[in-house]
Structure 1
Amino acid sequence: MKKSAIYQVKLQDKEKYFECSDSDSILEGGLRHGLAMHYECSNGTCGACKAKLVKGDIKKIKHHDYALSADELDNQEFLMCCHAPSSELELEVDLIGDVRSIPVQEIQIKIKNIRFINDEMAIVSVRTPRSKTLQFMAGQDVELSFKGVVSRYPIASCPCHGMDLEFHIRNLKDNEFSQLIFSKQIKDKDKLDLTGPKGVFVLKEASTKPMVFIAWDGGFAPIGSLVEHTFSLEMPNPVYFYWAYPATDPVPYFDNHAKSWHAVMDEYHYQTIACEFDRSNKNDCHKIAKQIYDSLDHDIVNQSEVYISAPGEVLIYLGEFLLENGLNEAQLIASPI
């Protein structure tokens, strides 16, 4: 069997490079390396992934229904989803600039699998149609709807996974959507309506500072999306992840997954923080924030970009502690759950 060749692809005027196999589409290669490329269908129907070939040779690897105009063909434009490199390439490509340039989309998605970690947490995996893939940035969230019942959840997966999305849904008595999940009224192969993306909890990709990620319990979902995006971008920044959780649980619900990131990042430090917390009662958010704060390495925190995903009150108190201790407000990026 012939071994695939690997070629370097350069994006003109952006000082960005990625490697792509001659058996993968250029779009797949770019997304896998964390580049925010425009696309919708990934199967040659919509034309959103057009790029201009500046240097090098490409080969068509699948048919596309989208018809390029004569002017576009003369301008060396092509669809990245249907072509692979056959040499080193230089391309002219428009990338998504920021969250404001991503439109809110409405997509009907299908549940692939619901995995119950325990009686309190479900991992819901869904798939978008090939003709309508969700365009989003790591850390953003969406609204999910089932028969008129709507709730908002952060996307737990990285944009590099394309059509496959993941959500972490906790069993909350006052959340009707979660009750449909845990009563199994929503099940595998059911269809949901998705609206999004929303939110501005996104990565500072140009920063060279160390990155500190702090999650409370299910706040792991958007934090996980951000962390996985850092290594798809191959960012060299040291990463410090603190995961706070109720001490009544033996470990955080996705502890092994968080540990597995040691294999893909050279400078990755992971620490769990067991907090006194009772899910059945109202809790002292100030006390929980102080427990988290006391567990941090503040010398590292103050020189880092700090990303926090926690309940609103915990986030407010923790943010106050950090700013009073010398963290620059511009280095604090936070999202309530």
Structure 2
Amino acid sequence: MANMSNQIFNIQLNNKQNFECPENDSILEGGLRHGLAINYKCSNGTCGTCKAKLIEGEIEKIKHHDYSLSTNEIDNKEFLTCCHAPRADIKIELDLIGDVRSIPIQSIQTKIKDIRFINDDMAIVNLRTPRSQTLQFMAGQDVELSFKGVVSRYPIASCPCHGMELEFHIRNLNIDKFSQEIFSKKLKAKARVELVGPKGMFVLKETSTKPMVFIAWDGGFAPIRSLVEHAFSLEMTNPVYFYWAYPATEPSPYFDNYAQSWRAVMDEYHYQTIACDFDRSSKNDCHKVAKQIYDSLDHKVINQSELYISAPAEVLIYLGEFLLDNGLDESQLIASPI
């Protein structure tokens, strides 16, 4: 009977960061799974962007690549991380994305993999990029999606470790013409959607050791989900607090069970829903809603944490004022209007 074991090897990156990679996975897959911002585009050996240098240990080519390494690169022990797997503990040199500003804006023709309607006004849309042009982005960022000239901007709900499959949470709003294409069923599986991005600065402070507090208003859960799952993939041990504001007329937030499931994978995770007096019109009393959210927070935790908020701009302004007046330092506040 064949040996089905899959040995795990340790990879030391640039003499400081370590991650584990199974022998049957490419080094690129292992690094992305652990949340590393590795420079890559295609993940199939076409572009050469994911080149690394082997310093110590043994690797093996596990799939063909069309990209041709020069004689000098081969002599320098350079290789493509997307096409090689470890065969022992190894040390490599590899350039990582420095910060969000260094990621280029990309234009990609994607296809809709599937659309799942949670209820009458919320759709979970999954797009698939071509293998030759995977989206490079950081958790918390957003993109523009366009279909037959209709363009809207949405945050990515998935983690960067799943670059070929991108998830979006899209509300059925009259002012959002792209959403109307979805809920009228004109936009269906296999349809082509142009993606332009990534954009935005709503990203994780990966080196911070402070507790992390996340606050989402309704569909603001999408970028929060991306950030939380990225933190988990990085194996960050910071305590996580998540507050989710939703309309009091509804029984619970639309992905309540999903948010609760994080308790199973994080040692210190605290989740609280906040039923608020708002609907999804543009006529909400944003000051009142911001005060409802503010009054529900544990302020002792808030003032010693990194605070990430995804909410409408007016709610952000009022909530930010409450928090700063209560002693929160402005450097601790990371916000994204939706």
The answer as to 2:142 corresponding to 1:141 is yes
C-alpha distance in 2 between matches for 1:280 and 1:199: 24
Letter in 2 for 1:8: N
The aligned residue for residue 321 of structure 1 is 322
Residue 216 of structure 1 corresponds to which residue in structure 2?
217
Tell me, yes or no, if structure 1 residue 12 matches structure 2 residue 14. Answer: yes
Identity value in percent: 76
Provide the C-alpha distance between the structure 2 equivalents of 1:180 and 1:271, rounded to a whole number of angstroms: 33
TM-score (normalised: structure 1): 0.99
Tell me what 1:290 maps to. Answer: 291
What is the number of equivalent residue pairs in this alignment? 336
TM-score calculated relative to the size of structure 2: 0.98
The 1-side partners of 2:302 and 2:98 are apart by 27
Alignment-mate amino acid for residue 172 of structure 2: N
TM-fit CA distance, 1:178: 0.7
Q: Spell out structure 1 runs of 4+ moving beyond 2 A.
A: 278-281
Alignment of 1:112 with 2:118, yes or no, is no
5+ residue gaps, structure 2, are none
RMSD over aligned CA atoms reads 0.8
Q: What aligned pairs does 1:171-190 form with structure 2 within 5 A after superposition?
A: 171-190=172-191
Aligned pairs for 1:184-203 within 5 A: 184-203=185-204
Q: What do residues 152-199 of structure 1 show as CA deviations (whole Å, max 9, x unaligned)? A: 000000000120100000010111111111101111110100000000
Change (3 A) 1:228 1:283: same
CA offsets 1:62-93 (integer angstroms, 9 cap, x no match): 00010000000011000000000000011100
Secondary structure of 2:252's partner?
Answer: coil
Determine the C-alpha separation between the residues in 2 that align with 1:109 and 1:86: 35
Instruction: Provide the secondary structure at the position in 2 that maps to 1:236.
Output: coil
SS of 2:119's equivalent in the other structure is: coil
Aligned equivalents of 1:91, 1:198: Cα separation in 2: 30
Report the counterpart of residue 46 of structure 2 in structure 1: 45
Distance 2:237 2:64 in 1: 38
Q: Secondary structure at 1:207's aligned position in 2? A: coil
| 5+ long unaligned stretches in structure 1 | none
The whole-number CA distance in structure 2 between the counterparts of 1:280 and 1:107 is: 32
1:27 Cα shift?
0.1
In structure 2, how many angstroms separate the alpha carbons of the residues matched to 1:45 and 1:279?
A: 45
User: Match of 1:288, SS?
Assistant: helix
Task: Give the whole-Å Cα distance in 2 for the aligned partners of 1:39 and 1:253.
Answer: 34
Write the distance in 2 (CA, Å) between the matches of 1:12 and 1:261. Answer: 31
User: SS state of the match for residue 193, structure 1?
Assistant: strand
- Match in the other structure for 1:304: 305
